[in-house]
C-alpha cells in the first residue's frame, strides 16, 4: 500500500479528498522519529520542509503545495521526483493582482490613512499625489482624486497559468494587453523584447517564476524605461526586482508600485520599503485564502491517483521550475 505523508497541521476533513489504496502518515511539523513515506505532500514553507525531510525515508515523490519550489529544489534527495503546484493558486493570486491594481489607482492607501486621521480635507492630497506622478500639461476641472483602469495598457511579464487568470479578470475593465513569456509564441513576446515593451505600458505585472534568469530582471535599466507614472505590480518573488533600484524610482516619483513580495523577506522592521512613497505593500499573502490547502490537496489527490495507476505525474520539475 502506498504510504503518503501529509503535514499533521492539515485539516483532517481534507484527508477525504485523497484516493483509496493509500496509507496516510501524518508528519508532525517537528518530527522526533523516522517515518517510511513514498509520496510526500510537503508543507508550504521551506523551513517546515527542512524540519520534516530528514525523518522521511523511502521518498520517491515530493508534491509541493506551492508553485515556487526553489526552496524544495535545494532539499530534494537524489532519485526523488519533485512536482510543483502550478495552477493551484491561479485564482487567489489573480484576485490579489486585480485588487492591488485597483487599490493603487483609486489611492486606497491614502484614503485609508485619511480615515484613520479623520480629516476630510486631506482628500486634497490625492490631487498632489496624482500630479507628482503625472506632471500635467493642464489641470482638469474638477480635481483629480483617483485614476481609472479603463483604457490602460497592461504588460503581463510571465504569461503562464496565473498570467492568463489575471488577464481574464482584467479584461472586463476595458484594458489592452501585451504578453511576455520566456518562450515567444503567437500573441506572446519573448522576454528579450521586454526593453522595447516597457516604455508604452501603463501597468507592468510581474508573475514570473523565481530562477537564476529572473533574479534581478527588473533593475535600474528596466525601471528607467518605464513610462512616467506607470504602476509596477510584483506578484512573483521579491528578488525579481532589485530593491535599491525600486526604492530610487519610487523616491524620484517616476513610478508607483504594488508588491506582495519583497527582498529581503520577511521585510525587517525599519526597512526603507516600509516608508517608501507611492508604494503599496502586502506581506506575501496573495494565496493565503481559505481555499489554499483545499486546492492543494485536490491537486495532490489527482497526483496520487496518477501515481497509483502508473501514469506520468503533472508539473514535474526538470530544471529550476
Active site residues: 237, 265, 284
∠ CA(260), CA(181), CA(278), 5° rounding? 30
Find the farthest-apart pair of alpha carbons in the chain and give their distance in angstroms, rounded. Answer: 74
Cell match 527582498: residue? 263
Q: Could you tell me which of 204, 175, 201 has the C-alpha nearest to residue 97?
A: 204
3-state secondary structure the chain: CEEEEEECCCCHHHHHHCCCCEEEEEECCCCCCCEECCEEECCCCHHHHHHHHHHEECCCEEECCCCCCHHHHHHCCCCCEEECCCCCCHHHHHHHHHHHHHHHHCCHHHHHHHHHHCCHHHHHHHHHHHHHHCCCCCCCCCCCCCCCCCCCEEEEECCCHHHHHHHHHHHHHCCEEEEEECCCECCEEEHHHHHHHHHHCCEEEECCCCCCCCCCCECHHHHHHCCCCEEEEECCCHHHECHHHHHHHHHCCCEEEEECCCCCCCCCCCCHHHHCCCEEECCCCCCCCCCHHHHHHHHHHHHHHHHHHCCCCCCECCCCC
- CA 214, CA 256: separation in Å to the nearest integer? 21
Pairing of β 2-7 and β 81-83: unpaired
Residue 216 grid cell:
534581478
Amino acid at each position: 500500500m502506498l504510504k503518503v505523508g501529509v503535514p499533521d497541521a492539515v485539516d483532517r476533513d481534507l484527508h477525504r479528498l485523497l484516493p483509496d489504496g493509500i496509507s496516510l502518515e501524518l508528519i508532525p511539523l517537528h518530527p522526533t522519529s523516522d517515518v517510511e513515506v513514498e509520496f510526500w505532500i510537503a508543507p508550504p514553507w521551506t523551513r517546515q520542509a527542512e524540519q520534516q525531510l530528514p525523518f522521511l525515508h523511502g521518498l520517491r515523490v515530493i508534491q509541493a503545495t506551492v508553485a515556487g519550489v526553489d526552496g524544495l529544489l535545494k532539499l530534494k534527495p537524489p532519485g526523488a521526483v519533485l512536482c510543483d503546484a502550478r495552477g493551484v493558486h491561479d485564482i487567489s493570486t489573480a484576485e490579489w493582482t486585480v485588487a492591488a491594481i485597483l487599490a493603487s489607482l483609486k489611492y486606497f492607501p491614502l484614503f485609508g490613512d485619511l480615515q484613520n486621521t479623520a480629516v476630510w480635507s486631506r482628500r486634497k492630497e490625492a490631487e498632489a499625489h496624482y500630479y507628482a506622478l503625472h506632471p500635467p500639461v493642464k489641470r482638469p476641472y474638477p480635481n483629480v482624486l483617483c485614476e481609472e483602469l479603463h483604457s490602460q495598457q497592461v504588460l503581463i511579464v510571465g504569461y503562464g497559468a496565473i498570467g492568463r487568470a489575471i488577464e481574464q479578470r482584467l479584461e472586463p475593465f476595458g484594458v489592452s494587453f501585451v504578453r511576455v513569456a520566456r518562450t515567444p509564441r503567437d500573441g506572446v513576446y519573448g522576454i528579450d523584447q521586454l526593453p522595447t515593451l516597457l516604455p508604452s505600458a501603463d501597468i507592468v505585472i510581474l508573475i514570473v517564476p523565481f530562477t537564476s534568469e529572473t533574479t534581478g530582471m527588473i533593475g535600474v535599466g528596466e525601471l528607467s524605461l518605464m513610462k512616467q507614472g506607470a504602476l509596477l505590480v510584483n506578484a512573483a518573488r521579491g528578488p525579481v526586482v532589485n530593491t535599491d533600484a525600486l526604492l530610487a524610482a519610487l523616491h524620484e516619483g517616476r513610478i508607483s508600485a504594488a508588491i506582495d513580495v519583497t527582498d529581503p523577506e520577511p521585510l525587517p522592521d525599519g526597512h526603507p520599503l516600509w516608508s517608501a512613497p507611492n508604494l503599496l505593500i502586502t506581506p506575501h499573502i496573495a494565496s493565503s485564502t481559505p481555499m489554499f490547502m483545499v486546492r492543494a490537496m485536490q491537486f495532490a489527490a489527482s497526483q496520487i491517483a496518477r501515481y497509483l495507476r502508473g501514469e506520468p505525474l503533472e508539473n514535474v520539475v526538470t530544471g529550476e521550475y
